[in-house]
Chains A and B, each alone.
Chain A
Amino acid sequence: MERIKVSFTLNGKPCEVMTKPYSRLLDMLRDDLRLTGTKEGCGVGECGACTVILDGKAVTACLVPAPSVEGRNVVTIEGVGKEGKLDPIQEAVLKEHALQCGFCTPGFIMSAKALLDENPFATKEEIRRAISGNLCRCTGYEQLTTAIYEAAEELRKLNKTKI
């Protein structure tokens, strides 16, 4: 089947890919672009391992047809953190020991980022709801909730100094 061109913004930069018409966003990221930070867990939208941010909202990349991101804005785990430095969410996950095998971690970080971008004052309850579409089978959710809560505090401080 003939490949089709998809042009979109990926991690802040323009991106053009030739992909199969039946590719999922997940396939295009991992196979065509070799961005393997986005993981495939269940492939049916239940585990959240492939979570990316599409036009500001957390979505599972396994359920998005690749050509559906034409002209849109996609952020993956590779786009989190700046100039070789980890994002405060990533720092907090390390500090709180909020991962073991790490397979679910990129998905959690993307869900957390989507939440904190929209609501920097998220409560623990709001954090729990925001990560309710992400499964972790080794660490559990307490450390992640704490890490995201602490990252929010850190981000608020950083934003204050910017102003």
Chain B
Amino acid sequence: MITYEYRRAESLEDAASVLEKYGDTARIVAGGTDIMVQIHEKDKRWENLKCLLDMTYLENELRYISEDSENVYIGPLSTHTDLENSEIIKKYLPFLGEASSTVGSPQIRNRGTIGGSIGNAFPASDPLPALVAADAVVVLYGLCGKRSILLKDLYEGKGKLALRRGEFIREFIVPKFPEGTVTGFSKLGRRKALAISRLNCAAALTFGEKGEITRARICPGCIFIVPDRVEKAEKLLIGEKPSEKLFYEAGRAVSDVMIERTGVRWSTEYKKPAVEEIVFRALAAAAGMEV
């Protein structure tokens, strides 16, 4: 059994100083929907865990969803349920709300937070592709102050985040899409509820006056070591009108990039058509096309 001390973060500074003091032997808990599972399963990562740092009493500072004319601001303690029900998310980032609504089960969505989902560096996170597709910025808080980086640059490698000792996620800033943008999310899991994504994809399309695509964002989930948009697929869409053929072409561009980056594996025979279909469905959902 893994045993540890419990610390309640009293303030942002307090949280940073505990993390600074303990380094790798302290871990943040918010909703606990990942770490409590890993601890229960005696995950080797937490063999040396000395301190579990509870952030949930910083709700006043860290649980909010707000907006100004340019951005949507999301506090990391916002739960998946908060995101699913937020009018701001429904209006400006509908695919993020949809992705959040597919996480785990009601119990998991009521506890699990967006900060935890990202801070856990889990490549199959559901909200992650939507945030990356929207070019989200993550604000990090540490004893030396705040810094902001593109969310995709937070990921350094498998399970590894570019966090300095003592740092934690303070906020997500998501730029609003241009007028005329629609979004879509698709997911492949083994069953409807409680399924961890095998593959997922978030897409955003902006249309011009003649119905042509003027801007495209495609971010597949689960297939790259670090999350990323696929610009090669996005470029294919510019200036074109939505069609089944076009969206499948974009799907093939994504699967080409997947093979370029991760090589041909035993699973490729299955994954390649599945990725193409998931990308197609996200784009078709965004364009309001019947599948």
Contacts and interface: CB of A to CB of B under 8 A. Distances in A.
B110 A70 contact: no
A64 B6 contact: no
A60 B107 contact: yes
Contacts of B36: 24, 45, 62-65
B6 A111 contact: no
A106 interface: no
A79 B40 CA distance: 27
A70 B107 contact: no
Interface string B42-69: 0000000000101011000000000000
Interface stretch (A84-92, A126-134, A145-153): A126-134
- Residue among B29, B36, B54, B104 with the most chain A CB within 10 A? B36
Interface residues of A, number: 31
A113 B52 CA distance: 31
A47 to B, nearest CB: 9
Contacts, number: 90
A43 B39 CA distance: 11
A4 interface: yes
Contacts of B111: 57, 59-60, 63-64
Interface in B172-219: 192-194
A129 B106 contact: yes
8 contacts: A45-B37, A45-B108, A57-B111, A64-B111, A65-B36, A130-B106, A132-B192, A133-B108
Interface of B: 1-6, 8, 29, 31-33, 36-37, 39-41, 52, 54, 56-57, 81, 104-108, 110-111, 192-194
Nearest 8 pairs of A and B residues by beta carbon: A133-B105, A132-B193, A57-B110, A21-B6, A63-B36, A44-B37, A133-B107, A60-B107
